[in-house]
Structure 1
Amino acid sequence: MGITKLSDLIRNEAPSAISYKEISDYTGKAVAVDASIVLQQFRTAIPRLHNRNGVNLSPLTGLFFRTLSFLEHDIKPVFIFDGRPPEQKKRVLEKRAQAAGWSGSYCSSSVSTQNQDCKSLLQHLGVPYVQAPGDAEAYCAQLVKDGKVDAVASEDMDTMAFGSDLLIRQLNAKKNSEVMEYSLPKVLAALQLTYREFVDLCILLGCDYCQKIQGLGPKKALKLIQKHKTIEAVVLHINRETHPVPQEWRYREARELFFQVPHGSPPALVWKEPDEQELVKFLCREKHVKEERVRRRMENFRQTLRERRREREETSKAEKSKQTCIKDFFRVTRKREAAAVLEVRGKRAKPE
């Protein structure tokens, strides 16, 4: 779910904080990707592709194609997998599982198996992944704050509440798709909020960790935080009849989760060349994906890399030729330098 209607609020109240870009604008950038969001997209958006054993291959094949597209654009992705969710989030996760028609045990075992397969795939692709100790969004944001990556790619807005300066949405590697980039510093400046006040605003809007005050819309929540600064002060200045405060409202615990630093040291992120033989062995021999499909995509991948390498070399040569200075053709002697100095001094000495 993320933060309820936060994207709408930013679009209406802080439009300057949103930039519309193309995927090529992120060439050379390291991006933390919320793996659960990506895999869920493939589970729901792509028609289910089952192998001979009845296993749904949509998340695995979707991840294969999208990751190669990132690498073709010289984007360095690192996929972050969810760890153990905090107690405050279990209620939300149970609702999502019920909506998907899964029992708790089936959902856990199925997702766990798929995640393990996806980690194996990423290893063969030469792309790093991290198993977060808790929420992937929190770990993604921490990687940005630690300078390990440049931005977070996710459809959920949580990473902004966790403190990520840049959030990228719709980074789906499709041609002609418009990528949306959200800047947290620009959001804070436009809304005239501190980061702590922004977190309280996100809790009022509605997050995964606690209930929200019913009937409190985004615009009113923003005005209340701008005026009163904290949830504690806001509660003292609202009509409890029209905006009832939840009993045993655990907003303080939610606030602490947003400020909490994930456990563990940031990993060393290393990207390597894809291993085609291991990819074929894993995808085709073990998971029964059609080998022709995998081989064809890898050939296109190599061809694209060759073309991009040639383009970079040509661009580099063109830039070097432009940087050639006149001094490279005409040597400036000491006599010429001295003459030039005398000429300047003579001009300065002339009366007006």
Structure 2
Amino acid sequence: MGITKLADLIRQDAHVAVSHKDISDYTGKVIALDTSVVMNQFRTATPSQSPLSGLFFRTLTFLEHGIKPVFVFDGKPPVEKTPVLEKRAAAAGWRSANCTGAASTQTKDCLQLLKLLGVPVIQAPGDAEALCAWLVRQGTVDAVASEDMDTLPFGANILIRQLNAKKESEVVEYSLTKLLEKLQISHVEFVDLCILLGCDYCDKIAGLGPKRALTLIQKHRTIENVVLHINRKTHPVPLFWKYKEARKIFLDAPQTVAPELTWAEPDEEALVKLLFNVKEARVRRRMEKFRQTRESKREEREKETAAGGSRQTRMQDFFRVTRKREKPVDAADPLSSKRKKPKSK
């Protein structure tokens, strides 16, 4: 899943691109999430329970911290991803891989849950991580939260990992701009590096480790040139290698339109009915805690304003439309750029 050993390579050769933060550092930020990654986390952690409950509790925690989540759903995967999907399906014991992008019953329930929570959802035309990265580049969102490192070759300026709302958890943030500067390669060259490391869309050259792959790209700049300068006996090139197709998938922008994003108040009664596998009292207690926490943070902002701090923000300002920025994100520090003030609902 993602790019093989990319995180290790970054820690060793480009640690300046990595920063460690707290979930509270993302207050006021619009964060795109790959929904399938989030759901797989819950399936792995609690296989005997429905992931809907985990999604319910985590989303409320995001909202309590003032984070504006945007959940992106997978569409039809590229045909090049079929072998990987089939391997995953076999490993999971599923009858077959979902290569059509058709939504399962559980996916439809997740979609309904998120709508009842009042957060925006987006259907990607293909892989969700590709659209998440594109939303960052368009200025529609501030960052992508995903455990999949392939969000970076797709072009996400800021990738957040471990944004799981646990108090003891440290959030890890990756800056694509700093990464490319440190490695002294372009984004296109970085995509070729990721293909050499191993991605979901084609095979890789056998026996080629991360350090060697990086050195080859830094010296020869393209996969075509790398192939000319390796020992084919020790590093055999895959037969019918579809690296060009993989490169195109990473570099081509999704064929869609940047959406307007709207947040609304959660519908508690409808949520109680949907989460019938969770005790009603537990759902209502969590909703009450959500309202109390939200009110407490509003009061804190009012005190800061009275003391000469930041501008007071009313709670209804949170639930509003966020439009695409007119100016591009500052490549050096995308999260520090000022968002165009959206119109109220």
TM (normalized to structure 2)?
Answer: 0.87
Contact 1:18 1:180 in 2 (8 A): yes
Bigger drift between 109-118 and 40-49 goes to 109-118
- 1:148 aligned onto 2:112: no
CA 1:282–1:258: 2 relative to 1, 3 Å = same
Structure 1 CA distance, aligned partners of 2:68 and 2:227?
44
- CA distance in structure 1 between the partners assigned to 2:16 and 2:134 by the alignment: 24
Specify the alignment match of 2:321 in structure 1. none
Q: Give the match's secondary structure for 1:31.
A: strand
State the partner residue of 1:84: 76
Question: Does the aligned pair in 2 maintain the 1:205–1:212 contact within 8 Å?
Answer: yes
Asked if 2 retains the 8 angstrom alpha-carbon contact of 1:22 and 1:176, the reply is no
Q: Distance in 1 between matches of 2:273 and 2:209?
A: 53
Aligned partners of 2:34 and 2:71 also within 8 Å: yes
Which of residues 178, 184, 187 in structure 1 aligns to 2:170?
A: 178
Give the count of matched residue pairs: 310
Structure-2 residue corresponding to 1:318: 307
Q: Tell me whether 1:66 sits opposite 2:58 in the alignment.
A: yes
Q: Which runs of 4+ in 1 moved over 2 A?
A: 105-111
The aligned amino acid for 1:311 is E
CA distance in structure 2 between the aligned counterparts of 1:311 and 1:27, rounded to whole angstroms: 14
One-letter identity of the residue aligned with 1:23: I
The answer for the alignment partner of 1:31 in structure 2 is: 31
State the Cα deviation string for residues 33-65 of structure 1 (Å, max 9, x = none): 00000000101112412xxxxxxx2x1001000
SS in 2 for 1:319: coil
Q: Deviations over 1:115-142 (max 9, x none)?
A: 1000100011000011111000100000
2:295 to 306, 312, 315: 306
- Aligned match for 1:187, one of 179, 183, 207: 179
Please state how far the C-alpha of 1:319 moved relative to its aligned partner: 1.3
Percent of aligned positions with the same letter in both sequences? 66
Shift of 1:100: 0.6
Q: Please name the residue that 2:11 is paired with.
A: 11
- Shift of residue 320 of structure 1? 5.8
Which structure 2 residues correspond to residues 260-275 of structure 1 after superposition, within 5 A?
A: 260-275=252-267
1:346 maps to what in 2?
A: none
Q: 1:282, CA displacement in angstroms?
A: 2.1
Q: 1: CA distance between counterparts of 2:144 and 2:309?
A: 34
Larger radius of gyration: 1
Counterpart of 1:296 in structure 2: which amino acid?
Answer: R
Instruction: Give the alignment's Cα RMSD to 1 decimal.
Output: 1.7
Q: For the structure 1 residues 106 and 194, does the alpha-carbon distance in structure 2 shift closer, same or farther, using more than 3 Å as the test? A: closer
Instruction: Give yes or no for contact 1:97–1:107 (8 Å, CA) kept in 2.
Output: no
Match of 2:190 in 1: 198
> What is the distance in 2 between the residues matched to 1:293 and 1:35?
24
Q: Which amino acid aligns with 1:4?
A: T
Of 262, 270, 289, the residue aligned with 1:278 is 270
Select the residue among 86, 89, 103 that pairs with 2:95.
103
Change over 3 Å in CA distance of 1:110–1:44 after alignment to 2 = farther
Alignment of 1:114-153 (within 5 A): 114-153=106-145
Map of 2:43 onto structure 1: 43
Letter in 2 for 1:205: L
TM-score, normalization by structure 1: 0.86
